[in-house]
Structure 1
Amino acid sequence: MSKAVPTKARAVIIGGGVSGCSVAYHLAKLGWKDVVLLERKQLTSGTTWHAAGLIGQLRASQNMTRLAKYSADLYTKLEAETGIGTGMRQCGSITVALTEERKEEIYRQASLARAFNVDVREISPDEVKAMYPHLNVSDVVAAVHLPLDGQCDPANIAMALAKGARQNGATILENVKVTGVSSKDGRVSGVTCVQNGETFTIETEHVVNAAGMWGRELGNMSGVTVPLHACEHFYIVTEPIAGLPRLPVLRVPDECTYYKEDAGKMLVGAFELKAKPWGMEGIREDFCFDQLPEDFDHFSPILEKAVGRMPILETAGIHTFFNGPESFTPDDRYYLGEAPELKGYWVAAGYNSIGIVSSGGAGMALAQWMNDGEPPFDLWEVDIRRAQPFQKNRTYLKERVSETLGLLYADHFPYRQMATARGVRRSPLHEHLKARGAVFGEVAGWERANWFARDGQAREYRYSWKRQNWFDNQRDEHLAVRGGVGLFDMTSFGKIRIEGRDALAFLQKLCANQMDVETGRIVYTQMLNGRGGIESDLTVTRLSETAFLAVVPGATLQRDLAWLRKHLTDEFVVITDVTASESVLCVMGPKARDLMQKVSPNDFSNVAHPFGTAREIEIGMGLARAHRVTYVGELGWELYVSTDQTAHVFEALEAAGSDVGLKLCGLHTLDSCRIEKAFRHFGHDITDEDHVLEAGLGFAVKPGKGDFIGRDAVLKKQDAGLERRLVQFRLTDPEPLLFHNEAVVRDGKIVGTITSGNYGHHLGGAIGLGYVPCKGESAQDVLGSAYEIEIAGIRVPAEASLAPMYDPKAERVRG
């Protein structure tokens, strides 16, 4: 007898895999009694039941590591709580490197693990052999061992979470298919579902899309963007192998393989470089505990390498050749959080083969988010608001996920660019820049010139952990900006018009800086949350009494639009995304004024056009709005040009620029210039978890203007004092490089990580930013310590500064 479908619930979770069960469990633990989970077939069907169940605690950031560690701890405790065995055992893991490049990567990961307080040790090939006696280590260059990693039984974990949810009052219904999510006034209002041929409606204000590979299709029903696509994932399980001891999980990323010993058998799985997307025509209605057709030809190259790596496999019989679908996203990171299109619509899907280790922590974080109305800590890297609407296109997804599966085990080189599904969003200057040597990267679908190749130079990345093939190109571009004039195409900036009778009052409520400025003024500001954390980093230009233009990074546009719309109550305000209507050309450097005066009859003196102002100018035979601001720390203007005139304005600038040494510059140079000036980068140096005062941005906060979101947290921090400060570092050795996540060492002890890094070609060394704990300390105390940065296990001395090392008084910017 089927359990009855309730008529009302506080939250309805759609999907009975490990993700949905975790969300139900954690909501119920928080006291949400009327939680309903609906599963179209049976719990764990789809993907969870055939997952490999690897528990690797070290992830790419501190908070993702925090969530993975939480999962491991939860799965260890679940058996005692629910009586269901989870198979969780901390057998450890080993990752081996077969190349020097991979050695650098795993050693960098080991330094990161130490910074995140994860137990880790670099081990020799002989030590690997001692721990994994059947392994061929003849070509192993290096290895790292994480003794607290482990493995588990994925289906039983989901069942244990489901039982724990029921024990705390949640209702879990199988064989109930959701047919629609209804909404009213921009918010979820109910869920329609079918049980035994009968249709029911559950009234609710919260829905969680935990539908796995069905997540995109479910999102589409409500106009919600959930870009993911299933791929085929292969592994084999051997017959029992006599004398096989219990072994750590083994990863050999250079051969795309992982190995797991389980009950005297070996499981060998693959993340091959070119994957097979699956389900382009949809997933059939009766799909449940199904396997996909075997494709031994596809898997055999992996298996051949595996036999060479572990010769005992040659004589071991294959018990199971398995092929099952798993969902992948365009950037290999899962989706969590409230969808920007519909209030009360939450997403926990797209786990990219790390769903078991992720779901425990992700379910906890999403439940907290739903309960509190804000995430418990910075989750931007998995936030659903990073997804771009175009990414739900199936042709795009099919092409992209064929690459992202393989990227899990590919070399994670800095600046690595996606090779597939490119060219979707282009500036009007794309072909112009391409003809002049641009080598493009992609952010949020935008093709952006990252660097410019010289005549005869290959227009491609040659990846390395050392200086890559464009290092000298970046140096020349960087020094041109510092000594002459450079031109950047920043059309990818997100542009948002905020206008209407109450636009000023609305922005005063959301922004920490004073927004009541005269028309034509540009205000650098942050939008804060109630904790004083930074939700958005932007400039706002007052265009008229009732109209403002907010400019945000292209990658955060959907997030920023969602934040603005979320806080729009009864104000008379219209919010419009106008990103595609204007291009942005940035003319930057000490000779920027000389160039502008050649192409425009307007006066560009400090008196006529001071820093922080915008006005319309004539340029060539067109018009532009010239904003005197900078992200590179030099005199310059951002030119906002109607897209139909962009090519003409570019040609006019280029023709006039030959006399003043104009150089086309890419995004790598923009970043290296900004880090010399210690300008912050959202998502790295500043996040919703970083207090605006501790980020060193107090100059952009005006508590005296009246109330705004985060004001109380600012005043509280002013009274209590800072607990940490964002510090700029320069390596004293000019050779090593900083990218991100290297360990910051203060007086011999790891105290944090580098939040962002690049090479300071003017300052003569790698530059990084990072937070340093400073509770009860003065600025002099912070700077009085000895600092080193740990890079792949090697500690390099570094100078520290709280003021920008380049042009600390901003004299060049205002020159």
Structure 2
Amino acid sequence: MSIPNTADVVIVGGGVAGCSIAYHLTKLGITDVVLCERKQLTSGTTWHAAGLVTQLRATRNMTELAKYTGELFRELETETGQATGFKQNGALRLATHDARFEELKRGVSMARNFGLEADVISAGEIRERWPLVEVEDVVGGIWMPNDGQVNPADVTMAMAKGARMRGAKIFENTLVERLIVENGKVRGVKLADGEIRADRVVIAGGMWSREFAAQSGVSLPLHAAEHFYIVTEQMPDLPRELPVLFVADECSYYKEDAGKLLLGCFEPEAKPWGHNGIPEDFCFDSLPEDFDHFEPILDMAVKRVPALANAGIQLFFNGPESFTPDDRYLLGETPEVEGLFCACGFNSVGILSSGGVGKALADWINDGHPPMELADVDVRRMHSWQSNKSYLFDRTKETLGLLYKMHWPYQQYETARNVRQSPFHDRLVALGASMTEAAGYERPGFFARDGRSTEIGYSFGPQSWFEDARAECLDTQSAVTVFDQSCYVKFRVEGRDACSILNNVSAGNVDVAMGKVVYTQWLNPRGGIEADVTITRLSETAYLVVTIAASQTRDLSWLSRHIPGDAAVVVTDVTPGLPMLAIMGPKSRALLEKVSGADLSNAAFPFGTSQEIAVGYATVRASRLTFVGELGWELYIPADFAMHVFDKIVEAGQEFGLSHAGFFALNSLRVEKGYRHWGHDIGEEDTPIQAGLSFAVDYNKAEFVGRDALLRARDAGVPTKRLVQFQLPEGCRKMLYHEEPIYKEGRIIGSITSGGYGHRLDRSMGMGYIYNADGVTRDFINADGFEIEIACERYKATASLSPFLDPKNERIKV
């Protein structure tokens, strides 16, 4: 079979992901698919994967993809005639301490949202299902009966066969040298002896993907790491249908395979590999043994499964797998090149993700948009600087082990820190700031008081900083507080067509007076929220767009893709040159009037407007906005004046009881007020109507992306899905984080999207979408009967469409 000159889609890489994408494209009727593999199918990482098939992931849609994978594996052998080795033998997860047990129980509650079968079980029940395991120190565990295992090479070959059966062409020993990119769009791939022209190309090259993409200016941040497991010799007393066993507290997993036991690990400090390049001839290769590195895991394993002490080791295996900086894979259309997609960086969950990934990306290619919200794994969440090799090397040492480490709320990375710092960083650290990280930015989490440590003491309940954050929230309520929000992203949009382009992208009307700030959303054609921004009109032809740190790449790409080629407009990311301080609280007006000499009264400076004011010798842009529910201003400061302005504010602030606050308090304050956060409370599948943001939509504008979908939804009447605020009873210190099930009259009707403790109201609070086929009306919400499940226990909850705090917005407009 000769290699064709053209194709509808070219896939680069013949591992489990590439073969799954080919399989699912052909199922959609896209049969002119060419897959090129540099050596042989599965020869990179797939062939030596452990083949674990688990379904419960961190979010709803990730779980749906994993569920689909399990369903596909059950049917694939029947469809293709190719054996897959799939066994639905279930999985056990053990906890050796109470915190891990709570983590597992919270997972069971989350599973109930997704319709997954999951049960909390005792140490004795664990022993019944896994007779060889020592459980004397086990406090409990969970049982997932629908999990299992598969032979990775066989299941890959089955998907490859299924793709070929429907017309896909697969070529082994076919190296793709580079992409063909013309005018920002992919046009095919270059081979050693020719080209394949195609308007859609998928990079599914595993650990080779980063270097391959970089040739075309595309950032795919991933790095290989060594991954270890052993396989015993035959163990006569080993039951043949043992469930997969996870002992995360010992960094280990166990899988029975044909009378042998496989023991693998995700050790706390990993060994990055391939930093200086992967050998050209790498194919079905293993890496050198490092028994000293694996020995601590084996020592724990022999105590956990004493039969291992008498079992010989048939195979000590070490092979590379690729990891990303946040332990989530890279999926979707790249922001740099239109028509170029990726599916790589699977962080050791490639097999269990493969079916869902293949289906999702095939749908994305076919429809021109993702089939569901995939923000967790969307490649656009990444930033170009994260492809730095030194950064990836250092972070990869940690990310492998994080898979089995405790998954604490607010958990912070320990490696590759202090990448991006605001000008105020050192001042804030000196004032007691405990720095946390977002998108590489160092930003205050809290300020330690009363001799408390800046180290975070993790817990699923109130953490070590709880009292510090409480003080920060109450200071914001009673006096004035400074928040360093320099990590917020700022785009300057300027040119003759700036107004028309932003009005087309935005649901709100940005054709407003100079100095007006518009809070709005950028929607997709289905009416879903792609971005949540504020837009300030600076002049007739210039605007300032502000969004969150995590959306920097994504939002810039979204805006750029909606600018016609002949438009007279320039978009500049001015984030590094424009640090921002938020001055919040009832005394913020008096403080800023003192340092500026300006009139900041309601008449002179209304809410939702922006002006330039003087602070010391600097001119700064002040915007009267709030994300905390109190009177306040955001100050956008030229970077070279930043420290001067900071010092002037701090000096003058002593008279007004000024204090400093971090992002833990900010989250508490915004949840208390019901302010939405993109990626948690609003996203691609949520419309402004469902999210309670219709006030930010101008339906009278002639045209904007998503308008038709919103009009249809509005005309349909009361929505069947709405975002609602919840609070737990007085005195309840149980914390809401995400995906806790919401019940009404004993039936799950939704789940929590984000939570925090509201210190001004002294209640544990959260937000979440609820569903009702007859419409989520005020009567439905105001009726009793709501409960929220936390770690398998239910707590009464009160629901409200309006904020529990200051529902008339009197504080912010005083």
| Superposition TM-score, scaled by structure 2 size | 0.99
Q: Which residue of 2 aligns with 1:801?
A: 800
Letter in 1 for 2:420: R
Letter in 1 for 2:539: S
Work out whether residues 61 and 372 of structure 2, in 8 Å CA contact, stay in contact via their aligned partners in 1.
Answer: yes
Deviation at 1:683, TM superposition (A): 0.2
Pairwise mapping of residues 586-665 of structure 1 onto structure 2 (< 5 A)? Answer: 586-665=582-661
Work out whether residues 734 and 764 of structure 1, in 8 Å CA contact, stay in contact via their aligned partners in 2.
Answer: no
Measured against aligned partners, the alpha-carbon deviations of 1:649-675 in whole angstroms (never above 9, x if no partner) come to 010000011111111000111111001
Q: Which residue of 2 aligns with 1:174?
A: 172
User: What is the CA–CA distance in structure 2 between the aligned matches of 1:620 and 1:669, rounded to whole Å?
Assistant: 28
Q: Which residue of 2 aligns with 1:201?
A: 195
Greater Cα shift, 282-291 or 163-172 = 163-172
- Of residues 722, 727, 737, the one that matches 1:725 is 722
Q: How many residues matched?
A: 809
Q: Tell me the secondary structure at the aligned position of residue 782 of structure 1.
A: helix
Q: Which residue of 2 aligns with 1:789?
A: 788
User: What is the CA–CA distance in structure 2 between the aligned matches of 1:724 and 1:526, rounded to whole Å?
Assistant: 19
Q: Tell me the secondary structure at the aligned position of residue 658 of structure 1.
A: helix
User: What is the CA–CA distance in structure 2 between the aligned matches of 1:773 and 1:458, rounded to whole Å?
Assistant: 43
Q: Which residue of 2 aligns with 1:555?
A: 550
Q: Which residue of 2 aligns with 1:500?
A: 495
Letter in 1 for 2:131: P
Letter in 2 for 1:324: G
Letter in 1 for 2:726: F
Q: Which residue of 2 aligns with 1:232?
A: 226
Deviation at 1:488, TM superposition (A): 0.3
Residue 347 in structure 1 maps to residue 345 in structure 2? no
Letter in 2 for 1:692: P
Work out whether residues 103 and 143 of structure 1, in 8 Å CA contact, stay in contact via their aligned partners in 2.
Answer: yes
Pairwise mapping of residues 328-727 of structure 1 onto structure 2 (< 5 A)? Answer: 328-454=323-449, 456-569=451-564, 570-721=566-717, 722-727=719-724
User: What is the CA–CA distance in structure 2 between the aligned matches of 1:189 and 1:36, rounded to whole Å?
Assistant: 14
Q: Tell me the secondary structure at the aligned position of residue 716 of structure 1.
A: helix
Deviation at 1:507, TM superposition (A): 1.1
Deviation at 1:750, TM superposition (A): 1.8
User: What is the CA–CA distance in structure 2 between the aligned matches of 1:579 and 1:169, rounded to whole Å?
Assistant: 48
User: What is the CA–CA distance in structure 2 between the aligned matches of 1:743 and 1:679, rounded to whole Å?
Assistant: 21
Q: Tell me the secondary structure at the aligned position of residue 351 of structure 1.
A: coil
Measured against aligned partners, the alpha-carbon deviations of 1:462-512 in whole angstroms (never above 9, x if no partner) come to 111121110000000011111111100000011011111111111111111
Q: CA RMSD in A?
A: 0.9
Q: Tell me the secondary structure at the aligned position of residue 787 of structure 2.
A: strand
Q: Which residue of 1 aligns with 2:285?
A: 290
Measured against aligned partners, the alpha-carbon deviations of 1:337-389 in whole angstroms (never above 9, x if no partner) come to 11111111111000000000101101110111111111111000000001111
Work out whether residues 725 and 774 of structure 1, in 8 Å CA contact, stay in contact via their aligned partners in 2.
Answer: no
Deviation at 1:243, TM superposition (A): 2.8
Deviation at 1:640, TM superposition (A): 0.2
Work out whether residues 109 and 791 of structure 2, in 8 Å CA contact, stay in contact via their aligned partners in 1.
Answer: yes
User: What is the CA–CA distance in structure 2 between the aligned matches of 1:583 and 1:125, rounded to whole Å?
Assistant: 53
Q: Tell me the secondary structure at the aligned position of residue 639 of structure 1.
A: strand
Letter in 2 for 1:731: L
Work out whether residues 781 and 800 of structure 2, in 8 Å CA contact, stay in contact via their aligned partners in 1.
Answer: no
Deviation at 1:456, TM superposition (A): 3.2
List, as ranges, runs of 4+ consecutive aligned residues in structure 1 with deviation greater than 6 Å: none
User: What is the CA–CA distance in structure 1 between the aligned matches of 2:19 and 2:654, rounded to whole Å?
Assistant: 63
Work out whether residues 524 and 705 of structure 2, in 8 Å CA contact, stay in contact via their aligned partners in 1.
Answer: yes
Measured against aligned partners, the alpha-carbon deviations of 1:169-213 in whole angstroms (never above 9, x if no partner) come to 11110001111112111101121012xxxx211111111110100
Greater Cα shift, 592-601 or 226-235 = 592-601
Work out whether residues 613 and 620 of structure 2, in 8 Å CA contact, stay in contact via their aligned partners in 1.
Answer: yes
Q: Tell me the secondary structure at the aligned position of residue 381 of structure 1.
A: coil
User: What is the CA–CA distance in structure 1 between the aligned matches of 2:774 and 2:248, rounded to whole Å?
Assistant: 45
User: What is the CA–CA distance in structure 2 between the aligned matches of 1:7 and 1:391, rounded to whole Å?
Assistant: 35
User: What is the CA–CA distance in structure 2 between the aligned matches of 1:774 and 1:73, rounded to whole Å?
Assistant: 28
Q: Which residue of 1 aligns with 2:811?
A: 812
Letter in 2 for 1:236: I
Measured against aligned partners, the alpha-carbon deviations of 1:412-439 in whole angstroms (never above 9, x if no partner) come to 0101000000011100011110111111
Q: Tell me the secondary structure at the aligned position of residue 590 of structure 1.
A: coil
Pairwise mapping of residues 5-20 of structure 1 onto structure 2 (< 5 A)? Answer: 5-20=3-18
Work out whether residues 745 and 785 of structure 2, in 8 Å CA contact, stay in contact via their aligned partners in 1.
Answer: yes
Work out whether residues 774 and 782 of structure 1, in 8 Å CA contact, stay in contact via their aligned partners in 2.
Answer: no
User: What is the CA–CA distance in structure 2 between the aligned matches of 1:527 and 1:38, rounded to whole Å?
Assistant: 37
Letter in 1 for 2:426: E
User: What is the CA–CA distance in structure 2 between the aligned matches of 1:342 and 1:497, rounded to whole Å?
Assistant: 22
Q: Point out where structure 1 has 5 or more consecutive residues left out of the alignment.
A: none
Residue 262 in structure 1 maps to residue 257 in structure 2? yes
User: What is the CA–CA distance in structure 2 between the aligned matches of 1:48 and 1:706, rounded to whole Å?
Assistant: 52
Work out whether residues 9 and 202 of structure 1, in 8 Å CA contact, stay in contact via their aligned partners in 2.
Answer: yes
Greater Cα shift, 238-247 or 473-482 = 238-247
Residue 318 in structure 1 maps to residue 313 in structure 2? yes
User: What is the CA–CA distance in structure 2 between the aligned matches of 1:795 and 1:121, rounded to whole Å?
Assistant: 16
User: What is the CA–CA distance in structure 2 between the aligned matches of 1:55 and 1:500, rounded to whole Å?
Assistant: 52
Pairwise mapping of residues 120-199 of structure 1 onto structure 2 (< 5 A)? Answer: 120-194=118-192, 199=193
User: What is the CA–CA distance in structure 1 between the aligned matches of 2:633 and 2:14, rounded to whole Å?
Assistant: 53
Pairwise mapping of residues 36-55 of structure 1 onto structure 2 (< 5 A)? Answer: 36-55=34-53
- Of residues 204, 218, 228, the one that matches 2:212 is 218
User: What is the CA–CA distance in structure 2 between the aligned matches of 1:508 and 1:32, rounded to whole Å?
Assistant: 36
Q: Which residue of 1 aligns with 2:107?
A: 109
Work out whether residues 784 and 798 of structure 2, in 8 Å CA contact, stay in contact via their aligned partners in 1.
Answer: no
Q: Tell me the secondary structure at the aligned position of residue 400 of structure 2.
A: helix
User: What is the CA–CA distance in structure 1 between the aligned matches of 2:659 and 2:793, rounded to whole Å?
Assistant: 37
Letter in 2 for 1:813: I
| Superposition TM-score, scaled by structure 1 size | 0.98
Measured against aligned partners, the alpha-carbon deviations of 1:110-148 in whole angstroms (never above 9, x if no partner) come to 000111110011111111111111110000001100000
Q: Tell me the secondary structure at the aligned position of residue 332 of structure 2.
A: strand
Q: Tell me the secondary structure at the aligned position of residue 770 of structure 2.
A: strand
Work out whether residues 612 and 620 of structure 2, in 8 Å CA contact, stay in contact via their aligned partners in 1.
Answer: yes
Letter in 2 for 1:797: K
Work out whether residues 754 and 768 of structure 2, in 8 Å CA contact, stay in contact via their aligned partners in 1.
Answer: yes
User: What is the CA–CA distance in structure 2 between the aligned matches of 1:561 and 1:534, rounded to whole Å?
Assistant: 15
Q: Tell me the secondary structure at the aligned position of residue 506 of structure 1.
A: helix
User: What is the CA–CA distance in structure 2 between the aligned matches of 1:446 and 1:394, rounded to whole Å?
Assistant: 18
Q: Which residue of 2 aligns with 1:278?
A: 273
Deviation at 1:455, TM superposition (A): 5.5
Letter in 2 for 1:650: F
Q: Which residue of 1 aligns with 2:54?
A: 56
Measured against aligned partners, the alpha-carbon deviations of 1:193-245 in whole angstroms (never above 9, x if no partner) come to 12xxxx21111111111010011101101101100000000000111111321
Work out whether residues 577 and 638 of structure 2, in 8 Å CA contact, stay in contact via their aligned partners in 1.
Answer: yes
Q: Point out where structure 2 has 5 or more consecutive residues left out of the alignment.
A: none
Letter in 1 for 2:619: L
